[in-house]
Structure 1
Amino acid sequence: MPGAGYPENTNAVDEERQQWDRNTSTRDRVYETAIQLYEPATAETVADRAHCSEGAAREHLEWFAARGIVEPLEGRPKRYQRNHAYFEWARANELRREHTDDELERKLETLVDAERAYREQYGVDHPRQVDALEEGDYDSMETVWQDIGDWKTVRRELRVIDRARKDRDAFDGAGLVG
């Protein structure tokens, strides 16, 4: 049903999926699936999405859990979810390695300005305090929801850059950076 959110050529999607299956190891497919687990999922669900056996998915998920990449949730059946703190840490390390202090400071200033602008625009201190229905008519709701998402991204990037700067200070103070 083209035009209703479905691809016009489902064969192209199927071919791309088959190529992913052929050219990507099971471990990599489970990883790519696991990092998208914003909601808890069972090994069976991950296996289905990653095109592998449930046993292989469970083995790799446990390996990722031991390294902090996913968080296992006890219960029957056991479920797993992406560990947001791990990815925040990884992003901070990437920024610390790839950017100078001055570059991080400029990014931080830009983000602080954006945070301030959202606070002024909506008259609240946090995006979760914004009520899209109270901000106007239904036509403007989509814009408000987009702003809320963007504001959350700004806040997340502020945390990550702050962490990168603090981590650099910790490394410098420990004599680990040349």
Structure 2
Amino acid sequence: MTEFDPAPEPSATERRWQQDEDTFSRVYDVAMGITSPTPAAEIADIAGCSPNTAKKHLDRLVDMGIVSVTRTGRSTQYERNEGYLEWQDASRIANELTVEEIIERVGELEDERANYEEEFEATDPAAVSVYDDASHETIHDRMAAVSEWRGVIRDIRLYELARQLAENDGHLIPA
């Protein structure tokens, strides 16, 4: 490149991050976006930093309980801690709603769960075969319903956790 060539366009990774965003924040954002165990080098590539820097920040996130780590032989992989995300969601619910509102919502969700159990004649969405019908449309509808049922079960768990937090001033058990 000569001194008269235009400056190269920034890469997609460089454009993805705001200029004032620090490396820790970028690694955190990437870690929250991954859905399966991922090596630090891959996270570093997405976050636009060196693998050593990513590993340092990932290890800090592991210590904080935000990320979990899996070591097999020489391979180390990181993934977000789903329990951390659930805790955040439950804390938000506990701060936004009263205990009575949370209890009311749990009741509504339990009614929805009962409707799914009756519709599919099962108590667990994993026990349902969505392919019992040959029609593509019916299969699609059953897949959507089972997915929504799983969401209802997750929401019941979140709202129950939120209720415990709201009733015990942010703690799971009375202080």
Task: Give the TM-score normalised by the residue count of structure 2.
Answer: 0.82
Counterpart Cα distance in 2 of 1:111 and 1:155: 8
2:52 equivalent to 1:55: yes
Counterpart Cα distance in 1 of 2:20 and 2:130: 44
Tell me the alpha carbon deviations over residues 56-110 of structure 1, each in whole angstroms, 9 at most, x when there is no partner.
2111111110010011111222001111111111211111111101211221122
Query: Paired residue for 2:91?
Result: 93
Query: Paired residue for 1:162?
Result: 160
Matches within 5 A, 1:23-172: 23-75=20-72, 76-171=74-169
Q: Which has the higher helix share?
A: 1
Counterpart Cα distance in 2 of 1:81 and 1:165: 28
Give the aligned residue type for 2:28.
Answer: Y
Please provide the CA RMSD for this pair. Answer: 2.3
Give the aligned residue type for 1:119.
Answer: E
Listed as ranges, the gaps of 5+ residues in structure 2 are 1-11
Mark the CA change 1:17 to 1:163 in structure 2 (over 3 Å): closer, same or farther. same
Give the aligned residue type for 1:92.
Answer: A
Task: Give the TM-score normalised by the residue count of structure 1.
Answer: 0.81
Tell me the alpha carbon deviations over residues 21-45 of structure 1, each in whole angstroms, 9 at most, x when there is no partner.
5343221221111112221111011
Listed as ranges, the gaps of 5+ residues in structure 1 are 1-13
Total equivalences in the alignment: 162
